[in-house]
Amino acid sequence: MQQSLSALVLAAGKGTRMNSRKLKVLHEIAGLPLVCHVIEAIKPLQPDNIVVVIPSGHETIGDVVKPATIKIQQSALGTGDAVKCGITDLKTLSGTVLVAFGADPMITTETLKKMIEAREIENPPDVVVLGFRTENPDRYGRLVLDNDGKLERIVEVSEAHSIDKPVELYNAGVMAINGAKIAEFLEELSPDNGKKEYYLTDIVGIALAKGGYAIVVEGEESESLGVDSRADLARAEAMMQARLRHRMLSSGVTLVSPETTFFSHDTVIGKDSIIHPNVVIGKNVTIGEAVEIKSFSHLEGTIISDEVVIGPYARLRPESKIDKGAKIGNFVEIKKAKIGEGAKVNHLSYVGDANVGQNANIGAGTITCNYDGFSKHLTVIGNDVFIGSNTSLVAPVEVGDNAIIGAGSTITKSVDENALSVVRGELKEIPNGAKRFRSRRQQDHKKD
């Protein structure tokens, strides 16, 4: 039977090395704040509640981390103090208290689950620490094991020279702690160190001194990445994109050039879809099966049905929906518009605030003039409509089913079903006018 679980996410570091007005954990990778990646990894474990510990003055983060709650750490007195502050808002202190860090976005649910399971065995450890192996240990604390393979102590990197035995595992920071004893352990912490802070890592020694024991659960090195600078943020983005690309490839999506394709954390793509090089997919995009996204296209906030072709050089903006079999061609921008099944907007057009019917054909250079300087207005284009090239549709306007709009028209009034509408100025031709114009200009040039 699963024991109760509560989670603390420590997010009180201001991140001065980020050189930003924004709290460190609110910087994004794959379109999601760092702290939200951590929360999303915790959610499937179904904790009783999640508390995010933040510094004073950043209360607005509460809107970002919902349904998690926030707790303010009034003074920056270290990780131990942050946990001591946060546990007062946990619903229960029985079972396990999971402690994670809001600037460590690569942590996975699978690894956290292993840590929780390690706390639920018979005669469980009081502390489970996440460790990893690395060939570049310069910035990481050491996990020192005893002869039985249990965790003896955590040594800060600055004190690594004091270790007199081989070390293979390094501290990722995440802990799963006995909830019934955590308050007692925290009371024993002391700021007797160079920074005069309360280190959560000291809890291992305290648990051992009280007759308990601690163990290490091993995870991947990538999960240990903490973001403290813009360079770290860039590394985290690259690692997350690699993870998302692998996920897409494994689910049956073809990526012609994976390293040039970028996804959001919430991107959904159906099998047998093909993504060509240099495609950027932003937040809130769902793509169906057998869809082809051609190069240099940018998508966000869009739902794309099956068998659609997009691009190249297409831009799909939020609140757009492309129905089955439609085609959105090169240098086309779609914004807050529904493009019906089988419709074609093949090139050099802007369709915004519009409903386009099934099998409609929108000619090159067509614009829905949806904004009058004050309000946005809707354009409705019916089924099987043909819109000639270089047409301006001045909203609000409606074009009925099976209507035809002649090229070069500016449509300011609704067009009936099956009607043919052409709005053009009368052609005026002046015989030999071009010859006389050039002659006059040449004479003027000589006078100058």
Please tell me the predicted confidence (pLDDT) of residue 191. Answer: 87
Element (H, E) at 52: strand 50-55
pLDDT single digits (tens) 37-81: 999 999 999 999 999 999 988 888 999 999 999 999 988 899 999
**CA distances to 3, 165, 183, 222 from 188, in Å:** 25, 27, 9, 32
Please tell me the predicted confidence (pLDDT) of residue 448. Answer: 67
8 A C-beta contact, residue 232 and residue 226: yes
Q: Do strands 344-347 and 367-369 pair parallel, antiparallel, or not at all (unpaired)?
A: unpaired
- pLDDT band at 193, cuts 50/70/90? confident
Q: Please provide residue 294's backbone torsions phi and psi, each rounded to the nearest 5 degrees.
A: -85, 170
Please tell me the predicted confidence (pLDDT) of residue 2. Answer: 64
Q: Do strands 386-387 and 404-405 pair parallel, antiparallel, or not at all (unpaired)?
A: parallel
Tell me the pLDDT of the chain averaged across its residues. 94
Structure tokens at 4: 């109760």
Please tell me the predicted confidence (pLDDT) of residue 3. Answer: 80
pLDDT single digits (tens) 324-339: 999 999 999 999 999 9
- pLDDT band at 315, cuts 50/70/90? very high
**298 carries an active-site annotation:** no
Please tell me the predicted confidence (pLDDT) of residue 265. Answer: 98
1 pLDDT more than 60: no
pLDDT single digits (tens) 238-259: 999 999 999 999 999 999 999 9
8 A C-beta contact, residue 132 and residue 172: yes
- pLDDT, average across residues 123-135: 96
- pLDDT band at 14, cuts 50/70/90? confident
Please tell me the predicted confidence (pLDDT) of residue 138. Answer: 84
Structure tokens at 142: 């050491």
CATH fold of 348-448 reads UDP N-Acetylglucosamine Acyltransferase; domain 1 (2.160.10)
Q: Which of 136-150, 170-184, 210-224 has the lowest mean pLDDT?
A: 136-150
- pLDDT, average across residues 397-405: 98
Catalytic residue among 27, 347, 377, 445: 347
414 pLDDT more than 80: yes
Tell me the C-alpha distance between 299 and 321, whole Å: 11
Structure tokens at 55: 């510094």
pLDDT single digits (tens) 351-379: 999 999 999 999 999 999 999 999 999 99
8 A C-beta contact, residue 253 and residue 269: yes
Phi-psi region of 18 (alpha: psi -120 to 50; beta: other; left: phi over 0): alpha
* Domain ranges within the chain, ordered by starting residue: 5-224, 348-448
Residue range 5-224, CATH number: 3.90.550.10
Q: Which of 189-193, 249-253, 287-291, 344-348 has the lowest mean pLDDT?
A: 189-193
Tell me the C-alpha distance between 2 and 116, whole Å: 9
- pLDDT, average across residues 125-134: 97
